[in-house]
Structure 1
Amino acid sequence: MFLTNFIEQNSCMVSVVACVFLTMSYVASLYIWRTKLSRDHPSTIKRRFFSVFCMMLLAPFFTRYFLTEETLSKGDMYEHLGLRLSGLISASFVPLFLTIVLFMGPLCMQYLSGMWKLYTEPVYWWSNWQDLLWVRNHLMAPLSEEWVFRACMMPLLLQCLEPITAVFVGPLLFGIAHFHHMLEQIKVGYEFKAALMVSSFQFTYTSLFGAYSAYLFLRTGHFVAPLTAHIFCNHMGFPNFGAVMLYPPLQRVLIVCCFLLGLALWCVMLVPITSPNIYDNRLYWET
């Protein structure tokens, strides 16, 4: 009874601390296995699959415990986690389309290099599904990260923060969580300074992506919206701007135009195409 009253009276502080704990638990789950093998070794990948799967099972119960009655009165637990049927089809495709538009430049580069032809080959997809690295990067990582850092954390942050504030606060934890890669980089031979620079860069772009992902989650009210965007972004990777110079002059102009056009269209479309009305979202973001 005392703990329940404390949570109700200090919901903001408790919510933030709970999110920090979820972040630490997610990262810690990756290191409970003592091994000298690299993170890309099949044995390590399988063990970490099991760890994050357990985290995915436990996280919603943790979230439910720290949600106040006032929060739960606005919608059931499934709605807070972004699991609902209303607006599901729109949430599955519209935010993905928006993300594809943002990557118009890299997609143009892939087209000119002939990569698109590879996508039409069934062997390409079959071989990828048999590759644990590909499955980790394209499925397990996006699924577990979006579930823990968006579906389970954002409802807690929204107990004390405005939606637009939560969009930027939550992703900082998501970015910080990626600093654990620094330890692995040092382990394989990186100098501390080099590892810190790489991890700082990774923190920056993962935080920015996290803000975009959180925005999609809160605007659509659906877990699937940031998930599909995350899978696509992981597939594309960070844009290789330096590779533009490897193309012939006319193709360079086309690629640069696609980069600029994609960014401009994304900025123009971001708010209207994520309108809560499209997704029947009445929980997280007032229209």
Structure 2
Amino acid sequence: MTATLPSIGQVPMLVATLACMSFTIVYLAGFYVFVDIRTGGTGRSRNEPKVIVARCKAVIISSILTAFLVWLILRLYGAWPDSSSIMDQIHSLLWILGVVPPSSWFALVNVICLPVLLTASLFLGPLSLMFLDNSLIFQSNFSFHRDVRQNILSLEGVRNFVIGPLTEEFVFRACVIALLKFSGYSNMYLVFASSLYFGLAHLHHAWEKYHDYGANARALKTALLQSGFQFLYTTVFGWYVSWIFIRTDSILAPTLCHTFCNIMGFPDVNAIKDHKPVTQKILCSSVYV
């Protein structure tokens, strides 16, 4: 079945921009409305099992609601002809949001292997240190039980490496870019401007860190500094995965890149000094650059 795609330029730019801002609010609202109701109030740690489960449910519901809002806006502004059926509109919406599976082995390689390899090349520094420490997969210091079962497959791991990347990429990549694209914005705008919504969505961590660090003046300063850096980092990362999404037309590609980055964490340059041979330090330093 061939999807009937809406016409570009149907949605007013102001409407698309305001809608994308509302997506951020809807996504974050689940953290502080639905979660508080389900867990009995604020003040709980984000790593408590009850909070993790409630937040995962909240962002899944928010993602479904956001997709519905995208469909509703496109429909209200006549993006589809009146003769098109609801099923045809839903199919084309799924196509636009990149949730249709790859149609060939070549497409599968294009949305899985190439983006992940490209992302791995950005982490050659940490990967080289892990190789020297024999801690890469299939090396002697790698433990499937410790590194996979206790980390990736734990409740926190499912949140950090599955639910989080999938819902964030679906909302802030697929849904945001879809509306901005069909309002007539250029690809340049889609890559750079759309990522600001993703960066803004992470500023709520400042409130959590403020309370985690003691809710005093020093905690406020630390929370603002860390959240400011996180905003810059997530915005730059948003540029990258937005480009990946536009190039692949698949939500799978940016989601896998996001998961890989979450597993690796922010590159720790200080780890280089722990390696004694000078040749190793020089090699690792050059690879980091």
| 2:22 is equivalent to residue 21 of structure 1 | yes
Aligned residue runs from structure 1 range 118-129, under 5 A: 121-124=143-146, 125-129=148-152
Mapped partners of 1:127, 1:183: distance in 2: 28
Mapped partners of 2:273, 2:236: distance in 1: 26
Aligned residue runs from structure 1 range 1-287, under 5 A: 11-32=12-33, 33=36, 34-67=41-74, 68-70=77-79, 76-84=92-100, 85-86=102-103, 87-116=107-136, 117=139, 121-124=143-146, 125-158=148-181, 159-188=183-212, 189=214, 191-248=219-276, 249-260=278-289
Q: C-alpha offsets along residues 34-86 of structure 1, whole Å, 9 cap, x if unaligned?
A: 23211111111111011011112211111111224448999921221012333
Mapped partners of 1:71, 1:247: distance in 2: 60
SS at match of 2:99: coil
The change in CA–CA distance for 1:69 and 1:95 in structure 2 (over 3 A counts) is farther
- The answer for unaligned runs of 5 or more in structure 1 is 1-7, 261-287
Count of residue pairs the alignment pairs up: 253
TM-score, structure 1 normalization: 0.82
Q: C-alpha offsets along residues 21-42 of structure 1, whole Å, 9 cap, x if unaligned?
A: 0001111111111232111111
Other-structure match for 2:6: none
Corresponding letter in the other structure for 2:92: D
SS at match of 2:44: coil
Mapped partners of 2:210, 2:97: distance in 1: 36
Q: C-alpha offsets along residues 98-156 of structure 1, whole Å, 9 cap, x if unaligned?
A: 10111111100111123213785332322235521222111111011001111111101
SS at match of 1:191: helix
Mapped partners of 1:130, 1:245: distance in 2: 31
Instruction: Calculate percent identity across the aligned residue pairs.
Output: 34
Conserved? CA contact 1:88–1:222, under 8 Å: no
Mapped partners of 1:10, 1:138: distance in 2: 34
1:10 CA displacement: 6.2
The change in CA–CA distance for 1:185 and 1:109 in structure 2 (over 3 A counts) is same
The change in CA–CA distance for 1:165 and 1:114 in structure 2 (over 3 A counts) is same
Q: CA RMSD in A?
A: 2.2
The change in CA–CA distance for 1:103 and 1:71 in structure 2 (over 3 A counts) is farther
